[in-house]
Structure formats: C-alpha cells, structure tokens
Amino acid sequence: MPQFKWITAGSDSCFACTRWSNKVFSKLYDVPELPVHPNCRCRLKVILSPQEKELVKIGDELNRLKAQSSQDVYDLSALTLIPFLFERLLEAARVLLGEVEQSVQTLGIFWDNYQEMR
Ligand SMILES: [Zn+2]
C-alpha cells in the first residue's frame, strides 16, 4: 500500500506544520487535512513500494502506446511491446496479490486470537 510523507516548505514553517515534518503516514485516512492554515506550503510525498512503482511505470507505458495508436499511426515496434507489458503487469499484480493474501492471513490469526480471548 502507498505511504504518505509530510513535507514542509522549509525551516520557517509554523509549529502546526513542523510537528508533522517528515512523518510517514501509512493510511491516507490518518493524514491531517491540507492546507493546515492559509498560505500553508506543505505537501505530501507518495511513497510507493517497488511493485507499486512497477505498476505505475507499466500504466504509463500502456497509456503512451494507447495515445500512439489513436493517432492513426501504427508504430509496429510499439505494438510488439504489448504482450511483454501485459506479462510484467501480471507479474506485478501477482506479487501485490500475494501481499494482500499475507495481510488477510495475519488478520485471520489476530481474529482467532481475539475470539479465544473472549
Ligand atoms: Zn503547512
């Protein structure tokens, strides 16, 4: 899952902003609302796992190919890339699904323990 790093504009940031400086949030839900105050220059940096970066890269390449093919100009060398891109897409999706599966299993163990404690 993507994480979010709080980036302040500089050393002249107010206390309200500097207390979040460089803090990494693992859920977007936990991130304080931006802007914190008028003229707030803070921003969030999205931190992606290698698999997520790979998915973004593949998405960009597919979009580039799509844009090319809508111009009535068929670049055959680009079209031969498609099966290769889909293969990488599937592999990246497989890894991400594996991570989700692990999380669900961990959650299951927690739930079982919780049930036994009651
Ligand atoms: Zn700010």
Q: How far is the CA of 53 from the centre of ligand 1 (A)?
A: 27
Q: How far is the CA of 44 from the centre of ligand 1 (A)?
A: 10
- Give the per-residue pLDDT at 22: 92
Q: Residue 12 belongs to what domain range?
A: 3-47
Q: How far is the CA of 28 from the centre of ligand 1 (A)?
A: 17
Q: What is the identity of the amino acid at 22?
A: N
Task: Give pLDDT < 70 ranges for the chain.
Answer: 69-79
- Give the per-residue pLDDT at 87: 82
- Give the per-residue pLDDT at 4: 92
Q: How far is the CA of 52 from the centre of ligand 1 (A)?
A: 28
Same-domain status, 67 and 84: yes
Coil, helix or strand at residue 47: strand
- Give the per-residue pLDDT at 73: 58
- Give the per-residue pLDDT at 70: 67
**Long-range contacts at 52-56 (CB < 8 A, ≥ 24 apart):** 52/2, 52/96, 54/88, 54/92, 55/89, 55/92, 55/93, 55/96
Structure tokens at 71: 């111009």
Same-domain status, 71 and 105: yes
Same-domain status, 38 and 71: no
Query: 60 and 52 in contact (C-beta within 8 Å)?
Result: no
Same-domain status, 24 and 70: no
- Give the per-residue pLDDT at 80: 73
- Give the per-residue pLDDT at 71: 65
- Give the per-residue pLDDT at 23: 94
Same-domain status, 67 and 110: yes
Number of domains in the chain: 2
Of 67, 68, 47, 57, the C-alpha closest to 91 is: 57
